[in-house]
Amino acid sequence: MGYFVRLIVPTDNEQSIVSIVGRIVGHWGGCTVTTGYGWWVGKGGYVKDKVSIIECSIGVWDGPTRTWWHDLADAVRVEWDQESVFLSVAAGISFFVTGPDANEMETLSG
């Protein structure tokens, strides 16, 4: 059984995700990218912003894999000076969602 990882980040233009996609492709071999608009909730209220959804299929979700994705999500958040980015992992019916603190994980059943 594999896992499906989704990283959702706010992006101003198509070029801004090149470094992220490069890191993922270099490590995992490939990914898909979808762009559109989404609503972000921040300290200043609701903001409609362009978002990129980067998706990757991986074989295992173990400690080193989790650390790699959390580090990537946190690096993107820090490098782009964002309050948060969203990282989700789906396997069966469980979804794990992390916020800006890579040590926090919430399990949701769906």
What residue spans define the domains of the chain?
3-109
For residue 37, pLDDT over 60 is answered with: yes
Spatial separation of the C-alpha atoms in residues 97 and 85, rounded to whole Å: 10
* pTM strictly above 0.75: no
Q: Of 12-26, 32-46, 66-80, 89-103, which gets the smallest average pLDDT?
A: 89-103
Report pLDDT digits (tens) over 46-101: 777 788 889 998 988 889 999 999 999 888 888 887 777 888 887 643 444 445 55
Report pLDDT digits (tens) over 60-75: 888 999 999 999 988 8
Best CA proximity match to 4, nearest among 63, 42, 47, 54: 54
For residue 25, pLDDT over 90 is answered with: yes
Confidence at residue 12, expressed as pLDDT on a 0 to 100 scale: 64
- Fold entry, domain 3-109: Alpha-Beta Plaits (3.30.70)
Handedness of CA 60, 56, 95, 99 (dihedral sign): positive
Query: Per-residue pLDDT averaged across 34-57, rounded?
Result: 80
79 and 73 in contact (C-beta within 8 Å)? no
